C-alpha cells in the first residue's frame, strides 16, 4: 500500500511537469580540413568561417527562427544606404567582461581598409567614410548598393586585440592561445593526437552568454578522408556535404538542408539570337530526369533565380524545330540533295525510277520492321522494337570464347570474362539505363580487339499503359516516315547511276553530290556543309556539374544538335568573361548568400562586358527593376512584386534555366535532443543553429502552485472512474 501510494503521489506531482533542457554536456564535431587559420580578418570560407561564427559577433546576423537579417552588436538605421547610423547594444560584451565599443568596431574596419587583408571587404569599404563617437558609429557612402550590407557581417575584434596583431597574424594565422572573443564560445585549448592524426580545438562556453545548452564543443580536425573514416564510429556531428558517410552510421540522424547556391545554365543571346531556338533547348533539358540521374535524394529542383515556386519555363511557340534551323540557314542532308535535283525532272520520271528500283509504296506495320533477336536468349519475347510498361528487365545473351569484351552502347560490362558462356544486362530506371521514352541499345562484341556491332534493340517504355499505346502509334509512324526517306534516297542513288543523256539527274554536280552523300542524315549543316555545333562551357569544380554537362549534351543530341563541352575552373573565369563570343552556353553554380534577391550581377546590362552577365542580356526594363532591388531596402510585398516582374521578363527572353541545388546532410547523433530542423540556410555556417538548441540531458520542473491534497484526491478519483 505504501509503495502504491508513493507511486501515485509521484505520478500526480509530475503529471503536468515541464521538461526543460539542462545546460550541460560536451559534443564532438568532426571536420575534414587543414588546421583553420582562425583569422576573422581575411575572407572567410568553409570550416574557418564556421568556427569564427562561434567565437565572434558582428553588427548584423541572420536569425533563422524569424528567417530574416537582424542586428546583433548594434541597432542600425538602414532606411538610407548612404548614411547608416549604428547604436551599440548595452549587452554586447567581450569574453573578459568589458563592453564592446564603437572604437572596437571602427578599429576593425580601419584595419581591413589599411591593410587590404580582405580584398572583397576592402573594395566595398573603398569609398566609405567611417566615424564614431561615444557608443555610435556612422557609415557614409556615395552610392546606394544593398551589397554594402555584407560588410556588417564582418566579425568585430577588440582594439586591444588589434593593437597586438603582427603582420603574420593579419595576413595568415591567428594565435591559438588565450584571446578575447565576443560570442558563445572561447578557445580553451588546442592539441594534436598523432596516433590517429587529428587536431583538437576545445571550445568552452563564454561566461557572458548563455544561449547554448551544450557547455563544451570539441572540434576534431582530420587531414584527409581516409583518416576520418578509420575513426568515424565515435563522431557526434558531421556536416557531410560531399556524402562521405551517407547512412553508414545508424546512430547519426540526417538533417538535410539547402543553400541559396544552385546550378544555372546561361545561353549567350549574342550567339543564339533566336528566342524560339533558346526555348527549344531549355525545354529539351528535363530537370526531373536530370535530378533523378544525379540522385534526387541529394538534389532539389530550382524553378527560377529567386528559388520560389514560380516556373519560368515557356511553352514552345514554334512546334517544328526543323523550321527554326531553316530560318538560321541550317538544314539536313535530304534538303541539300533535294536542292541539287534538277527541277526538270517530272513526276513521271520519278514514278519510273520508283518502279525501276522496285520500291514498294504499300502501307506498312510494325511487323515489317521487326526481326528476331540474334543473340538474346531471355526473355524470348524481345525483338528489335519493344513496347513495355515493366521497368525491370534482365536480358540474357549467349557468348563464346572469342569475345574478349562486351559493350552496351558506350558502357563496358565490367563483370564479363572472355570465357563466360553467357552475359547479362539489367534494364531498370534506378540504374539510369531505362527512361520513359525511347531507349536504344547497341550490343558490341570485341573480337581480336576489333569492336563489332552485333545487334541493336529498342524499348519504348512508359509506366502508363494508355500513354504507351499513344506513343507506340507515334513511334510506328516515325519508323514508316523514316522508311519513306530511305526509299527517296534509293530513288536519288538510282538516278545518279543512269546515263547522263537519258536522265536529267545527270546534270547534277557530281562532286557536290558526293560530298552531300557523306553527310549524316540527322545532323544540321550550313551552306558550307559544316555541322551545327554548340559550345558548352561548364565549371569543373564538382562531379555533378560534369554529369550535368553530359546530360545536356545527350539531351540536345535528341534534337540532332552536336554539343562540344569544355571544362573551366575558377582561375579562368576572368578569361571567359573577357571573350564572351567563345561560348554558346555556360553551366555554373551561383551563390547568392544573404541577399538572395540581388541577381543584379547576372542580368544587368552594365555587367555584360566584363561582369557575370553570362547571357549578355541587355534590356532597359529589366535593368530598372534590378537597380530598384539593389539600391533600396524594400518591404517584403514590394520585393515580391518586383521579383515577379523580373521573372516574367526572363521567361520571355529565355536566356537562363535554373536546374538544381544540392541537399546537404548534417549528421547529428540521435542521443542529442533537438526539435528544430531547417530546410534552408542562407550560409553553411548557420548550421550551428541546429546545435545551439540541442541538449543531452533534460529535467522536469514541478508546478507546486497547482498541487494540493484536494487536487490529489480529485486526481485519484479521475484515474479510478475516468
Residues 6+ apart with CB under 8 A from 640: none
Q: Are residues 508 and 376 in the same domain?
A: yes
Is residue 336 assigned to a domain? no
Whether the link from the prior residue into 417 is cis, omega within 30° of 0, is no
Instruction: Give the domain-ending residue among 519, 551, 574.
Output: 519
Using CA atoms of 152, 647, 605, 302 in order, give the dihedral in degrees to the nearest 10: 60
- CB contact at 8 A, 682 and 62: yes
Instruction: Specify the range with the lowest mean pLDDT, choosing from 42-56, 87-101, 535-549.
Output: 42-56
User: Regarding beta strands 237-240 and 26-32, do their DSSP bridges make them parallel or antiparallel, or are they unpaired?
Assistant: parallel
pLDDT band at 307 (very low <50, low <70, confident <90, very high): very high
Q: Are residues 355 and 472 in the same domain?
A: yes
* The predicted structure's pLDDT at residue 575: 87
pLDDT band at 501 (very low <50, low <70, confident <90, very high): very low
pLDDT value, residue 196: 84
For residue 357, what pLDDT is reported?
40
Asked if residue 403 has pLDDT above 90, the reply is no
Where is the domain boundary, 150, 167, 182? 182
Let me know whether 460 and 395 are in one domain: yes
User: In 598-686, which residue ranges form alpha helices assigned H by DSSP?
Assistant: 600-603, 620-631, 636-653
* 50 found inside a domain: no
As a whole number of angstroms, the distance between CA 716 and CA 274 comes to 81
Of the two residues 478 and 704, the one the predictor is more confident about is 478
CA atoms of 520 and 334, how far apart (whole Å):
10
Cα distance between residue 600 and residue 607, in whole Å: 8
Confidence (pLDDT) at 364: 67
Task: Tell which of 492, 519, 546 closes a domain.
Answer: 519
φ, ψ of residue 313 to 5 degrees: the values are: -70, 145
- If you average pLDDT over residues 534-542, what whole number do you get? 95
- Report pLDDT for 505: 47
Give the residue from 306, 328, 290, 42 showing the smallest Cα distance to 157.
42
> In the beta sheet, which residues pair with residue 95?
none
Beta-strand relationship, 403-408 and 60-63: unpaired
pLDDT at residue 497 above 80? no
pLDDT for residue 359: 41
53 in Cβ contact with 685 (< 8 Å): yes
Q: 568 is written with which cell numbers?
A: 573551366
What integer pLDDT is reported at residue 345 of this predicted model? 45
Q: Give the domain CATH number at 88.
A: 3.90.76.10
**Same domain, yes or no, for 649 and 710?**
no
**E strand map for 269-401:** 299-301, 376-378, 385-388, 392-398
The string of pLDDT tens digits covering residues 451-465 is 888 888 989 899 888
Residue that is written with C-alpha cell 564532438 in the block = 28
Q: In what order do the strands lie in the sheet with 26-32?
A: 185-193, 198-205, 216-222, 26-32, 237-240, 664-669, 252-257
Pairing type for strands 585-591 and 533-539 reads parallel
Q: Do 515 and 541 fall into the same domain?
A: no
Q: How many domains is the chain built from?
A: 4
My answer on whether 538 and 589 are in the same domain is: yes
Which grid cell sits at 333?
542532308
Of the candidates 304, 367, 171, 188, the one whose C-alpha atom is nearest the C-alpha of residue 590 is 304
Query: Which residue range(s) make up the domain with 487?
Result: 345-519
Average pLDDT, the chain: 87
Range from 229-238, 271-280, 334-343, 672-681 carrying the lowest mean pLDDT: 334-343
CA distances from 523 to 211, 467, 573 (A): 65, 29, 32
The percentage of the chain sitting over the pLDDT mark of 70, rounded to a whole number, equals: 93
Determine, yes or no, domain membership for 202: no
Average pLDDT over residues 470-476: 87
CA atoms of 204 and 23, how far apart (whole Å): 13
Does the residue 426 lie in any domain?
yes
Residues 608 and 479 in one domain: no
The cell for 92 is 554586447
C-alpha span between 275 and 658 (Å, rounded):
17
pLDDT at 167 over 50: yes
Same domain as 537, residue 510 = no
How many angstroms separate the CA atoms of 98 and 297, rounded?
48
Q: What is the mean pLDDT of residues 367-387?
A: 76
- On whether residue 28 sits in a domain, the answer given is no
Instruction: Please check whether residues 356 and 475 belong to one and the same domain.
Output: yes
The answer to whether residue 492 sits within a structural domain is yes
Question: Measured at the alpha carbon of residue 211, what is the angle toward residues 207 and 217, in degrees to the nearest 5?
Answer: 70
Residue of 388, 393, 385 lying closest to 465 (CA atoms)? 388
pLDDT at residue number 50:
93
Which cell goes with 438? 525511347
* Residues 511 and 568 reside in one and the same domain: no
Q: Are residues 584 and 504 in the same domain?
A: no
Q: Report yes or no on 255 lying in a domain.
A: no
How many other C-beta atoms can be found within 10 angstroms of the C-beta atom of residue 470?
A: 12
Q: Do residues 386 and 456 lie in contact, with contact meaning Cβ atoms separated by under 8 Å?
A: no
The answer to whether the pTM exceeds 0.85 is no
What CA–CA distance (Å, rounded) separates 472 from 437? 10
Q: What is the CATH number of the domain that holds 305?
A: 3.10.105.10
Q: Write down the pLDDT at residue 424.
A: 86
- Residue range 320-367, pLDDT digits in tens: 888 888 888 898 888 888 887 765 543 444 444 444 444 444 566 676
Cell of 459: 524499348
Instruction: Say if 695 falls within a structural domain.
Output: no
Same domain? 463 vs 561: no
Q: What is the rounded CA–CA span in Å between residue 377 and residue 424? A: 10
Distance CA 360, CA 648 (A): 52
Amino acid at each position: 500500500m505504501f509503495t502504491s501510494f508513493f507511486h501515485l503521489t509521484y505520478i500526480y506531482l509530475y503529471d503536468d511537469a515541464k521538461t526543460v533542457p539542462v545546460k550541460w554536456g560536451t559534443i564532438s564535431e568532426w571536420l575534414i580540413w587543414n588546421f583553420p587559420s582562425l583569422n576573422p580578418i581575411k575572407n572567410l570560407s568553409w570550416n574557418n568561417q564556421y568556427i569564427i561564427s562561434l567565437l565572434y559577433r558582428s553588427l548584423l546576423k541572420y536569425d533563422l527562427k524569424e528567417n530574416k537579417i537582424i542586428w546583433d552588436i548594434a541597432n542600425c538605421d538602414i532606411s538610407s544606404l548612404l548614411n547608416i547610423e549604428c547604436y551599440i547594444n548595452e549587452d554586447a560584451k567581450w569574453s573578459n567582461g568589458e563592453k564592446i565599443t564603437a572604437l572596437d568596431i571602427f578599429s576593425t574596419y580601419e584595419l581591413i581598409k589599411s591593410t587590404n587583408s580582405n580584398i572583397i571587404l576592402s573594395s566595398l569599404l573603398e569609398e566609405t567614410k567611417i566615424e564614431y563617437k561615444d557608443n555610435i558609429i556612422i557609415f557614409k557612402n556615395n552610392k546606394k548598393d544593398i551589397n554594402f550590407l555584407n560588410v556588417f557581417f564582418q566579425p568585430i575584434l577588440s582594439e586591444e586585440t588589434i593593437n597586438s596583431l603582427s603582420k603574420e597574424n593579419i595576413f595568415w594565422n591567428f594565435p591559438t592561445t588565450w584571446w578575447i572573443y565576443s560570442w558563445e564560445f572561447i578557445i580553451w585549448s588546442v592539441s594534436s593526437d598523432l596516433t590517429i592524426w587529428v587536431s583538437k580545438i576545445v571550445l568552452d562556453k563564454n561566461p557572458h552568454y548563455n544561449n547554448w545548452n551544450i557547455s563544451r564543443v570539441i572540434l576534431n580536425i582530420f587531414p584527409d578522408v581516409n583518416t576520418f573514416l578509420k575513426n568515424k564510429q565515435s563522431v557526434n556531428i558531421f556536416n557531410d556535404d560531399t556524402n562521405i558517410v551517407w547512412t553508414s552510421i545508424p546512430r547519426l540522424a540526417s538533417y538535410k538542408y539547402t543553400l541559396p547556391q544552385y546550378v544555372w545554365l546561361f545561353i549567350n543571346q549574342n550567339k543564339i539570337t533566336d528566342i524560339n531556338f533558346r526555348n527549344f533547348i531549355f525545354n529539351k533539358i528535363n530537370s526531373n530526369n536530370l535530378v533523378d540521374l544525379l540522385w534526387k535524394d541529394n538534389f532539389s529542383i530550382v524553378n527560377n533565380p529567386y528559388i520560389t515556386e514560380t516556373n519560368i519555363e515557356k511553352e514552345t511557340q514554334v512546334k517544328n524545330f526543323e523550321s527554326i534551323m531553316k530560318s538560321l540557314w541550317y538544314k539536313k542532308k535530304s534538303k541539300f540533295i533535294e536542292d541539287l535535283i534538277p527541277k526538270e525532272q517530272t513526276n513521271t520520271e520519278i514514278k519510273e525510277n520508283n518502279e525501276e528500283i522496285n520500291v514498294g509504296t504499300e502501307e506498312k506495320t510494325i511487323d515489317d520492321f521487326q526481326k528476331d533477336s540474334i543473340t538474346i536468349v531471355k526473355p524470348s519475347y524481345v525483338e528489335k522494337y519493344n513496347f513495355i510498361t515493366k521497368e525491370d528487365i534482365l536480358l540474357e545473351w549467349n557468348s563464346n570464347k572469342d569475345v574478349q569484351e562486351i559493350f552496351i552502347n558506350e558502357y563496358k560490362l565490367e563483370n564479363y570474362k572472355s570465357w563466360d558462356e553467357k552475359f547479362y544486362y539489367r534494364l531498370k530506371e534506378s540504374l539510369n539505363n531505362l527512361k520513359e521514352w525511347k531507349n536504344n541499345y547497341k550490343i558490341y562484341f570485341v573480337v581480336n580487339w576489333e569492336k563489332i556491332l552485333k545487334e541493336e534493340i529498342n524499348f519504348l517504355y512508359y509506366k502508363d499503359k494508355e500513354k504507351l499505346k499513344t506513343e507506340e502509334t507515334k513511334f510506328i509512324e516515325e519508323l514508316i516516315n523514316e522508311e519513306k526517306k530511305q526509299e527517296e534516297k534509293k530513288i536519288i542513288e538510282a538516278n545518279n547511276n543512269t546515263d547522263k543523256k537519258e536522265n536529267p539527274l545527270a546534270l547534277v554536280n557530281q562532286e557536290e553530290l558526293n560530298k552531300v552523300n557523306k553527310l549524316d542524315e540527322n545532323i544540321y549543316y550550313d551552306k558550307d556543309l559544316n555541322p551545327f555545333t554548340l559550345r558548352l562551357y561548364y565549371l569543373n569544380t564538382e562531379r555533378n556539374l560534369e554529369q550535368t554537362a553530359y546530360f545536356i549534351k545527350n539531351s540536345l543530341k535528341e534534337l540532332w544538335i552536336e554539343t562540344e563541352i569544355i571544362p573551366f575552373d575558377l582561375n579562368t573565369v576572368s578569361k571567359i568573361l573577357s571573350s564572351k563570343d567563345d561560348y554558346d552556353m555556360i553551366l555554373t553554380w551561383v551563390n547568392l548568400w544573404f541577399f538572395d534577391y540581388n541577381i543584379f550581377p547576372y542580368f544587368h546590362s552594365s555587367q555584360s562586358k566584363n561582369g557575370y552577365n553570362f547571357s549578355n542580356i541587355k534590356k532597359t526594363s529589366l535593368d530598372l527593376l534590378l537597380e530598384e532591388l539593389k539600391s533600396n531596402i524594400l518591404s517584403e510585398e514590394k520585393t515580391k512584386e518586383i521579383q515577379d516582374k523580373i521573372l516574367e521578363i526572363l521567361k520571355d527572353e529565355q536566356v537562363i534555366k535554373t536546374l538544381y541545388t544540392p541537399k546537404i546532410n548534417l549528421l547529428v547523433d540521435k542521443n542529442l535532443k533537438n526539435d528544430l530542423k531547417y530546410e534552408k540556410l542562407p550560409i553553411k555556417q548557420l548550421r550551428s543553429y541546429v546545435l545551439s538548441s540541442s541538449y543531452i540531458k533534460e529535467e522536469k520542473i514541478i508546478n507546486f502552485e497547482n498541487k494540493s491534497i484536494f487536487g490529489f484526491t480529485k486526481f485519484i478519483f479521475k484515474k479510478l472512474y475516468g
